[in-house]
Structures are given as structure tokens and as C-alpha cells.
Structure 1
Amino acid sequence: MSDPRMKLVLVTPEIPYNTGAIGRTCVALNLELILIKPYGFSLDEKSVRRAGQDYWKHVQLSEYDDWASFLAERQPPRDALYFFEEHGAQSVYEPAFQEDAYLVFGCESKGLPADVLDGMDDRVFHLPMRNPIVRSLNLANVATAVIYQAMRTQLGG
């Protein structure tokens, strides 16, 4: 069982800069970053370290070979899982995030795999966009916005 603090999960991230930037945000907010393989890059790449600046060495990082391994080892409660997709049925502004929330994001080009989302329709959220000409937002930007919204609900506003 894991400790009762929020965690950020990236499933098969593809762009090293996004992972580095998200890692830096996790360091700033004392959150664990969980990465699910395969990655579209090596964690040793300069671009990961550059985006994370000199903070990357402070990232509380956990890695798993696949989603099934993550679920087996962590055994997260279903209600602690929050999945984010651009077409999620609910807005990120709706839930009161649990203290031990797992904020789960997919890769930049495809989002979350169908097998990860299977049976989780009620746990899928989106970050609203007002202009329909924008198809998607940068993963690091979305993750940061979601983290701060989740923290806001935990603090009671």
C-alpha cells in the first residue's frame, strides 16, 4: 500500500521534454512521479534533464514495465484513480480529489490505451477547452493544471 499523498502517473510517455517538465512540477509539489513503460525516449537523454533542470535528481520516481505490473504492485483503490483524456465525460472541476489520488495521463500522440480505460468510464475526466479549433493541449501543461486543481479541492478551495 502506498502513502496517502497524490501521485502523477504517465503511461508510455513519448516526449522527453514533457516528462522532464512534469518531473520538475512533481519535485516542486513533493509528488511522486510514476512512469509506465515503454517510453519513447531514454530517461538518460539530455532533453529530460534539461526540462527538469537540475531538479531531475530529486524526482521521487517509480517505474513499472506495464500497467498490469503497476496495478499488481500498487493496488490502487478504484476511487483513487483519476484518468485524463480530452474526451472524458466529466470535467476536472467536478471531483473532490482523494488525498491518495493517482492522476493518470497517457502518451502525447494516442492518450491512454483502451485496456487501461476499460470499465473506468466514470473515472475519466477532461480539462475544458473553450475554443473548438484546439484539438489538444501540451501534456505538461495539462498535468500541471490538473495537479493544482486537485490540490485546490483537497485544501477546500
Structure 2
Amino acid sequence: MSNPSMKVVLVTPEIPFNTGAIGRTCVALDLELILIKPYGFSLDEKSVRRAGTDYWKHVHLSEYESWQSFLDARKPPRDGLYFFEEHGAQSVFDPVYQPDAYLVFGCESAGLPATILNDMDDRVFSLPMRNPLVRSLNLANVATAVVYQAMRTQLGG
């Protein structure tokens, strides 16, 4: 398998088990996990250990105090940002993801802030849900599905 330099970005995550599970996926795929503060939990090993198991110590983790501090430090190109929201107008299956993509997810209760999504309509994607009885999916499940889809586009299908 190739070694993509994609990154998973969690903006103000609230649930340690989701963050731990996403961290484990990042370790499995050798991807960086970027966390944007504030968190809804303490980022000590104990609070994420259950989902991240003993892999948490291997997570390539970067933290930023705010979305703006992330933008200032990383300077991601606009077309390298992919935002995921349940009401995104485009499907996660539409783009061919850039190898250095930033896959950005919001917090579990509110998603991404409108200030982040401002003027980014063409960069917002959703994971399809066929049954209208389901309002949303678990963040860790969505992030894993998106990461594998993004990697699939890099591996040529």
C-alpha cells in the first residue's frame, strides 16, 4: 500500500471514544491526526484508551488551539480541504482526493461551525444515508469510511 500523507482533522471533538477510534484508524493507515481545541474531554491516555486501546501512544498527533491557529501554521491549500457534514451537497464518492488532503470533521453534537464552512460550499461532502429514519452517523464510523474512500481514489480504484 502506498503511504499517503492525508490528514484527519477533528474540530472540537467531544467524545473520547470516537477520538480514540479515529486515532486507531490513523495508526493503522499511517495518517496524521490533527485535533483542534477545545475538546470535550481530557486528552490523557486513560480517556481515549478504551477505543484507541494500546495504539494511542503511536498516533502521529498534532494539536492546535483554534481553527485559525491551524490555518496559520499549516496553510492548507483551499482545494486540499475536504469538509464532511451530514448535509453536504456532494457525496464523499465524488472527488478524487489529493494525496495531501485534510479530511475535516466537526464535533459530534453540532458538526462544523458556520464560520469554518463560510464560502466553502464546493468543499463540503456527505456520506449518503438511504433511510430517513437515521439523522446522523457515528463520527468514528464516518471518518473511517471517508478515509478509506479517499485512499481508494489514490490507489486507482
- TM category, shorter: over 0.9
Note the 1:71-86 alignment, pairs <5 A: 71-86=71-86
The superposition leaves residues 67-112 of structure 1 with CA deviations (integer Å, 9 ceiling, x where unpaired) of 0000000000000000000000000000000000000000000000
Structure 1 contact 16–45 (Cα < 8 Å) conserved = no
SS of the residue corresponding to residue 151 of structure 2 reads: helix
SS of the residue corresponding to residue 43 of structure 1 reads: coil
Q: State the partner residue of 2:149.
A: 149
Q: State the partner residue of 1:37.
A: 37
Q: State the partner residue of 1:105.
A: 105
List runs of 5+ in structure 2 lacking aligned partners: none
- Is 1:117 the counterpart of 2:117? The answer is yes
Q: State the partner residue of 1:94.
A: 94
Q: State the partner residue of 2:57.
A: 57
Structure 2 contact 45–56 (Cα < 8 Å) conserved = no
SS of the residue corresponding to residue 8 of structure 2 reads: strand
Q: CA deviation at 1:47?
A: 3.4
C-alpha RMSD of the superposition: 0.8
2: CA distance, partners of 1:71 / 1:49: 29
Structure 1 segments of 4+ aligned residues over 6 angstroms from their partners: none
Q: CA deviation at 1:46?
A: 2.1
List runs of 5+ in structure 1 lacking aligned partners: none
Q: State the partner residue of 1:140.
A: 140
The superposition leaves residues 32-65 of structure 1 with CA deviations (integer Å, 9 ceiling, x where unpaired) of 0000000000011623012100000000000000
> What TM-score do you get using the length of structure 2 for normalisation?
0.96
**How many matched pairs?**
154
SS of the residue corresponding to residue 136 of structure 1 reads: coil
